[in-house]
Structure 1
Amino acid sequence: MKKRLLLSISLCGLVAAGVSYYALADGDALWRIVGEQCVPGQQTQGAPAPCAEVKLPQGVAVLKDRDGELQYLLIPTRRVGGIESPQLLNGDAPAYWREAWAARGFMEARRGQPLPRRAVSLAINSQYGRSQNQLHIHISCIDRTVRQQIDDLDDGLPRRWRLLPVELKGHAYWARRVDADADGNPVGDPFRLLADEMPGARDEMGAYGLALLPASFSDGDGFALLATRVDLLRANRASAEELQDHDCKILRQ
């Protein structure tokens, strides 16, 4: 109880000290786009605009983000608050991360040519490092420096969480290896891997940000799953989106 109280006090301080963007943003903007435009349009006319895609059986929509030439968002077609939502840990929850990985095809289509697998990344921000109250996974390019840091650690990643020996973007991150199936999709659900395997995370899911990065191991391709936790002293909102580069400079190397 004492630990949770201290966490609440710290988070309140972090939110109060945050930039005005988070306070001024319309937190329901994404849900209104998906719930009031994309889904009805798909249901009545088979046209998901302004979304790029609505997959009703899978319960997801893909929307071009206003930031970045190639960034897209994977958004549930039902109301889901964010990473803290208990719905994400239900056995029948949609495979949001798998759908987000598949949606990288929209990045390629917009670019007009294939993307290197290792240039893509997926990220979700914590409850305290986002502007929207609807779950959304960022699909974008990986930051070049972060890419190199993870490349240097690839074969050192175990199939269990460990604190990385280096900071990413000035913040502490935990990481674990995630295998890929025969089709190249991640095996396991990142939300459940965090809740089930990171000590204490299940009770504080909203304090974490997650990122999924393609990785190559000595025995085949897979992914690096990264997690960061809100830290008041380090001004860390756990916005894992910080590991991405919406300008996609990695494609211009």
Structure 2
Amino acid sequence: MATGKLETDLVEMQSDKDNGVKRRDFIKLSGAAVTTGLTGLGVDEAVAGRRSTCNDGSATAWCEQKTFRPSLCGDTRDTDTLWQKAQGCVSAPDPSCRTVPGSNSDYVVVNGYVKGNDYLLLALCRVTGIECPMIWQSSAPNYWKGAWEGAKLNDPKNPVTLRSPFGFGINSRNARSYQQFHIHMAPLLRSPVNIMNQLARVHNDIGAKPEKWISTVITLEGREQTKTNPPTYENRVRPYRALWVHSLDENPFGLLYDWIAKPLGAQEKEDPADVMAFENLIVIPVAPPNTGFYLLNSDRKLKDATGKIPGIGSIDQLFYWGT
């Protein structure tokens, strides 16, 4: 699939003339029915020979090593548009399929919704998203480290040109529009709210102990689309669990599973894998002179300190999707 076709099919941009902020307005593609079968989340299923294999027939070891629940991880026969793009990056790669050094052919960086402004780290193995148990296994690719390295790609013929400051994020299952694993790589909001300034103000409140992550809740003001007709955009505060890590060497999905999904699953008497489906995860490089990365997580059940402000499964409100 050509780059321009992908960008046209994935989204049409909508502009709010009052504040100049452009945001994503997802559209459905004709002839691209999503058939991932995301049902039966509470029951382990017989795999019946299905495995999460890479699309070129030479699956990496982590893809082949174990069986999984198809309802959570998808099937290679699914027709999701981003899965088709991933297959194209293997069978007939074009310049939009940027290889990241050290990726072991597990993922590529492709153009996102506004060319030259945001990008997607796209898995080449059939993985639906954050709910797939394979991504938090110790043998899984470190997609977040891949996004960080991908943001530095400077091929003069096809560079990654992310405006700084930027971050990375993955939506919860219910907050996404496509069913192939992807991490958004996009600029953070600077106006009318500034995400980095807000994080700087609470930096000393964010600890580096993973066991404290679940109880370290901060609030950030972002920009959200209203449900009015026609929709507009408004500033809105949301709570996030926050952790400071010195590097991305340890898989952030593993940290999220161990220190958020497991305790929440124990509290709610649910399978932690099912809890993961409702979580989002955002990774933001810390501003100098400090170093490292913030790991932010939210879900609809999370509340702020007052108990009145709910969390959210989407990552969109912290990022700028305009030109």
Change (3 A) 1:108 1:237: farther
Deviation string 1:168-214 (CA, Å, 9 cap, x unpaired) is 4322211001113xxxxx23111111110112263400101110011
Cα root mean square deviation, aligned: 3.0
Matched residues in 2 for 1:223 and 1:112: separation? 20
Q: Give identity over the alignment, percent.
A: 25
1:193 aligns with 2:260: no
Listed as ranges, the gaps of 5+ residues in structure 2 are: 1-24, 35-79, 223-236, 266-271, 303-307
2:316 maps to amino acid: E
How many pairs align?
214
1:179 maps to amino acid: H
Select between 234-243 and 194-203 the one with higher mean Cα deviation. Answer: 234-243
1:152 maps to amino acid: R
Matched residues in 1 for 2:142 and 2:160: separation? 27
Who wins on radius of gyration, i.e. which is larger?
Answer: 2
CA offset at residue 236 of structure 1? 5.6
2:264 maps to amino acid: G
Matched residues in 2 for 1:58 and 1:164: separation? 36
2:322 maps to amino acid: D
2:321 matched residue in structure 1: 246
The 5 A counterparts of 1:94-173 are: 94-106=141-153, 116=164, 119-144=165-190, 145-159=194-208, 160=210, 161=213, 162-169=215-222, 170-173=237-240
CA offset at residue 96 of structure 1? 0.5
1:40 matched residue in structure 2: 91
Listed as ranges, the gaps of 5+ residues in structure 1 are: 1-20, 42-46, 181-185, 249-253
Query: Following TM superposition, where does structure 1 have runs of at least 4 consecutive aligned residues deviating by more than 4 angstroms?
Result: 106-116, 231-237
Change (3 A) 1:50 1:114: closer
The 5 A counterparts of 1:47-126 are: 47-53=93-99, 57-67=104-114, 69-106=116-153, 116=164, 119-126=165-172
Question: Do the aligned partners of 1:33 and 1:50 also contact (CA within 8 Å) in 2?
Answer: no
More contact order relative to length (CA 8 Å, sep ≥ 6):
1
2:84 maps to amino acid: R
Give the 3-state SS of the residue equivalent to 1:200 in structure 2. helix
TM-score for both structures, normalised by structure 1: 0.73
Question: Do the aligned partners of 1:75 and 1:136 also contact (CA within 8 Å) in 2?
Answer: yes
Deviation string 1:80-115 (CA, Å, 9 cap, x unpaired) is 010000111222101110001111124896789896
2:295 matched residue in structure 1: 225
2:276 matched residue in structure 1: 205
Question: Do the aligned partners of 2:186 and 2:321 also contact (CA within 8 Å) in 1?
Answer: yes
TM-score for both structures, normalised by structure 2: 0.58
Of Structure 1 and Structure 2, the greater helix share is in: 1
1:177 aligns with 2:230: no
